[in-house]
Amino acid sequence: MNYYILLNNRNLKGISTPVNAVLAETYKKEDPFPAMKYEWTKPRDFDRNYPSNLFFIVKGEKKFVLDYTFYWNGFIISQKFKDLLDKCNVPNYKQSKLTVVNIKGEDISNSTDYYFIEMRGNTVDAIDYNKSDFILDTNMIEMRGLTIDEVEKSDNYYGHIKKYEKISLKDTNVEFDIFPLKDIILHDLVCNEDVKTIIDERFPSIKVISLDNVEEYRK
């Protein structure tokens, strides 16, 4: 089975890249770009519960247009992409419906419904390190008081990889059509061949990269 990484096709004209944006419980004119300090933003809290509705406040965009992008601990997706998720076999995810505005509080959603979703508690442990090509992060290994030899003998490479050239998955560990991998470097969702075909046909705003060659993922 072939698998693919999903990316926001930021090079496509008109597609938004919300690199300067915040999630907020409310919009306040006197504080239009608040710090994300809420109960649901505590680090390492996998049991967090999100409000059913949130504001997504974006700087530098006159019109917000995309179907999918990684953001913070999850993903910003359109209703169209959410419909695809809900038709496929995917891990359980948490969601908040978004009101997308600029820092003036003006709606820039282009009459499209958007959602923040999160799957952190349902990552799939499926990387076949013996068949993948990667470079170890020697600095991280040393910081943890380990040696490369110890890591290789333990066969536990999670958190010890600096970059991948190729990622192979264990098919027997994959039961979903779209899913997040258990990995520190790869933040975006992964899909199978069937979903790739749908995305290629219906979602020009989403770029698809083969796990057999992930060099482009780092560009």
Residue 54 has pLDDT above 70, yes or no: yes
Residue 219 has pLDDT above 90, yes or no: no
Computed over every residue of the chain, the mean pLDDT equals: 95
Distance CA 19, CA 114 (A): 16
Element (H, E) at 91: none
The ranges assigned to domains in the chain are 3-125+167-218, 133-166
Which residue shows structure tokens 């519960």? 49
C-alpha separations of 38 from 29, 55, 72, 107 in Å = 19, 13, 14, 23
Residue 139 has pLDDT above 70, yes or no: yes
Which residue shows structure tokens 């504001």? 55
Q: Find the mean pLDDT for residues 177-194.
A: 96
Q: Find the mean pLDDT for residues 15-33.
A: 96
Q: Find the mean pLDDT for residues 111-140.
A: 95
pTM for this predicted structure: 0.95
The first and second tokens of residue 135, run together, are 């470079």
User: Confidence class of residue 46 from pLDDT cuts 50, 70 and 90?
Assistant: confident
For residue 155, the model assigns a pLDDT of 87
